Structure 1
């Protein structure tokens, strides 16, 4: 009786291991970008819940926003990426930025992120 062996060859195992390694490497590049984006969204949400945020001038609002980002180690958002516009009885704060990370050789991963939050006066 002849027995046939079945299973994965060494070459197949190395190829699967290589593919898994590439996906893990890409995840290591992408996860910090999205983590920073969620920190930006959380900072905007916290600012919208402050009682007197809409009564402050835009410069103070930007300073408060960047203080929150400093705590979260968000380093890709610059002052020129933050826009504050007057709307009704408050402001609309828009954060629009891009993150570019090198992946392999001359291939980069680019993430474009946009978050917007209305900062309106609290009804007292």
Structure 2
């Protein structure tokens, strides 16, 4: 009445546990490197949307808009771009703002993550 032991033992082997641990650590490191880049992207997008809806800037010059962006960027801790990178268009009584930028984030040794963003206040 003795059953075969192989069928009762279930679970992960030590090598599988180590492999999955390495995979999870790699994914965690990748996430920790990517999250700040996408948070900054979201902050830039929010800032452009807020500036588009600001009635004071509708009558302002392009230099006023750039200065306003620089002030807001300093508050929101945006360092990837500045006011000089803004593409400013005034169309039919409204402002359309856009920025095209890239971010390079080091991952390991000589391996980096490279992100290209095209942010616009238009929907």
TM-score normalised by the chain length of structure 1: 0.86
CA RMSD of aligned residues (A): 1.5
Q: Does 1:43 align with 2:47?
A: yes
Instruction: Give the paired residue count.
Output: 118
Structure 1 unaligned spans of 5+: 119-124
Which protein has greater RCO, CA pairs closer than 8 Å, 6+ apart? Answer: 1
How big is the shift at 1:80?
Answer: 4.0
Cα displacement string for residues 57-111 of structure 1 (whole angstroms, at most 9, x for unaligned residues): 0011011112111111111113442221333334321111100001122211011
Structure 2 unaligned spans of 5+: none
What are the equivalent positions in structure 2 for 1:1-124 lying under 5 Å apart?
1=2, 2-4=4-6, 5-117=9-121
Greater helix fraction, Structure 1 or Structure 2: 2
Q: Which moved more, 1:11-20 or 1:42-51?
A: 42-51
In structure 2, the residue matched to 1:122 is none
